[in-house]
Chain A
Amino acid sequence: MDKYNTAYKTAGFFRRYFATMLDFSINMSISFVPFLFTTFSVVEAYIKSPSSFNVISLILPIVFLFIMPIGIFFYSWYFTHKFGGTIGKILFGLRIVDEGGSYIDKSTAFWRMTAGRAVSSSFFGLGYFWAFRKKEDLTWHDRFLGTKVLTVGNPIWGIVALVLLKILFVVLSVYFITGILPQFLNTPPVRAMPVLGYTQSVF
């Protein structure tokens, strides 16, 4: 089914906001979190054995840092066109459609993601808050690209996923603070060096 009739209501600001938060969490968990872990494992390996350190091991963190955002960009583009939204939106029961009620075409999806977001982000994100202005719940990128976001289902799965991801982030943060950081802090304290006289000018 790729046609939505007018029976569906447009989604409100907060539901869209939480769907975006879920997308953000998913994207972070597949790009930034692996980047952090691979980077720390590389640094750990270097500290343990500098002589056997392999520079090629740096490639994986770089891939996570640079390539994954591009992958996420294309995934978002494809999903928005093909399924009417990214995973976060789908789990929150939202669909992006054009004025005819169909999923948006590739071109509109691209411009919505790029130019549309740029438009809404200008003036400190005023374009996103424009959704409060009228009953249509349309942001600037919706207005410019002729799209709207409809509520087609229950947001329960989105809420569950968001809560689980938040818990996961808390667990990972605790693990990072209690498990990984001490490895770096475990080294003997650096002895305080007296400030050498030759660095002090009389002027």
Chain B
Amino acid sequence: MYSTFSNIKESFKLAWKHKMLWILVLVMMGGFNFNSYSNFSNLADKTSDTRTPQIKDVSPDKFQPVGDNYNLKLNALEEFKQDVKIPTSPESAFEKGTNEILGVAQNRPAFNFTALLGSLVMVAPVVLLVIFFWAAISFLISVWAKGALFSGLIKASNSQNYDFKDLGSEGKKNWKRYLKLSIYFFYKRLLSVLPIFGIGLIVVIVNGIAPQSTGVNVIFGILMLTPFLWALIYNISLYFVEQFALRSIIADNVPTKATFKLGWKYYKTRPGKSIKLALALILVLPIFMLIFFLPMGLLVGITAFLVQQKVSFVLIGFMGLLAAITGIITILVSSPFLNSVAYFSWTRLFLFIRESFDERPMQNPVEFAYKPEAENGQI
């Protein structure tokens, strides 16, 4: 008998047993690129935040003399004023044509803006094309990994044997279908948010034409809320549908659009179980993640304590290194493992719902537009 608790419990066992699938989970996640973009973004934010204006907030009467803080000659500033001309000052740029600070020819470079614009026009598409090329390659890799992973998940859940080569072959065989399905879901999600942008555009146009009215804006706000809520609910439903559709490609062997329809069908059959599983995973997985990171947290705490106690640098460095190594190992193990648990949970729910149908989709080729395996990838 299916229950969400037993499903998750069994999924933990399966995920631990089938470590081969962790590789594919990691590839789907993007290898070692653990949210590096966000890290860089955060770094950029921090940099910009911590750049404190030094001149703006300090009144001139609070300045200290330079000589008080630095071991400078008393007349150093005067010498500096005499010897050095500010490079951006007009007399420095035009008087002699040389810059005494850098000691190189400093004729103001006469940039040819037409040439600059021309080269930008030439270079920008090249750079964009190159970015697009590598993005497409990494997308194809993730699509291949999907084909291999979901095949492995279904085989593992059904206690079937498989090896590296079976998974690789499934990835090669099904990548086109997963590619189409990804594009199809992207298209559906895009369509769902279009009404919000549409109403937003109307608000901008109305405010541009007529004088601004609070009443009209409130009405438009309420109007915008409706498609927003609809898009939210639709996208949440679409997440569940996607979970079933991704597995249906392998299990039911139907074309892309039929997979999407089947996904809806599976979801509508047992929506409560899907929502329950999603909520349970949201609750359970972070708890396990915290448990996994407990050793690293303890080591970080000990390191911080040692820093506070001002013990020897070697000891602090050793503890810090130990914490870092533990952290890396924890990430490498916990991320694919917990993701595998989630994937297995959805796969088991999918198989349970699928089995509950009296008439299997495979047995009704007309309704589900079944095509033989040889035509995989063709809509």
Contact = CB atoms under 8 A, between A and B. Distances in A.
A187 B102 contact: yes
A199 B55 contact: yes
Contacts of A63: 126
B130 A70 contact: yes
Interface in A172-203: 187-188, 190-191, 193-203
A140 B26 contact: no
A175 B140 CA distance: 42
A118 B26 CA distance: 9
B62 A202 contact: yes
Given A55-B112, A123-B23, A199-B54, A146 B165 contact: yes
Nearest to A193: B80
A123 B26 contact: yes
Contacts of A118: 27, 31, 141, 145
Interface string B119-155: 1001100110010010001001100110010000000
A119 B23 CA distance: 6
Interface in B15-34: 23-24, 26-27, 31-32
A196 B374 CA distance: 77
27 contacts: A46-B109, A47-B104, A50-B106, A50-B107, A54-B112, A54-B115, A55-B115, A59-B122, A62-B126, A67-B130, A70-B133, A111-B171, A114-B144, A115-B27, A115-B145, A118-B141, A118-B145, A121-B32, A144-B168, A193-B80, A194-B72, A194-B77, A194-B80, A196-B66, A199-B55, A201-B57, A201-B58
A130 B108 CA distance: 60
Contacts of B65: 197
Q: What does DSSP make chain B's interface, helix, strand, loop or mixed? A: helix
Interface residues of A, number: 48
Interface in A139-190: 140, 143-146, 187-188, 190
B304 to A, nearest CB: 27
B110 interface: yes
Contacts, number: 142
Nearest to B29: A122
Interface string A39-72: 0000000110111011110110011001100100
B126 A67 contact: yes
Interface residues of B, number: 61
B122 to A, nearest CB: 6
A111 B107 contact: no
Given A118-B141, A122-B26, A140-B23, A197 B66 contact: yes
A66 B168 contact: no
B84 interface: yes
B83 to A, nearest CB: 7
B54 to A, nearest CB: 5
A152 B175 CA distance: 33
Given A55-B119, A144-B167, A121 B66 contact: no
Nearest to B26: A122
A88 interface: no
A27 interface: no
Interface in B243-300: none
B187 interface: no
B165 A66 contact: no
Contact of A187 (B57, B103, B111, B167): B103
Interface in B73-111: 76-77, 80, 83-84, 101-111
A144 B148 contact: yes
A53 B116 CA distance: 11
B199 interface: no
Nearest to B147: A115
Contact of B119 (A59, A66, A123, A202): A59
Contacts of B123: 58-59, 62
Given A115-B171, A202-B58, 8 more contacts: A51-B108, A66-B130, A111-B144, A114-B141, A140-B23, A187-B102, A190-B102, A202-B64
Given A56-B115, A191-B84, A115 B126 contact: no
B53 to A, nearest CB: 10
A108 interface: yes
Contacts of B112: 54-55
Interface in A78-125: 107-108, 111, 114-115, 118-119, 121-124
Nearest to A122: B26
Contacts of B103: 187-188
Given A62-B123, A191-B83, A194-B80, A121 B116 contact: no
A58 B77 CA distance: 41
A123 B55 CA distance: 49
A195 B80 CA distance: 11
A46 B107 CA distance: 12
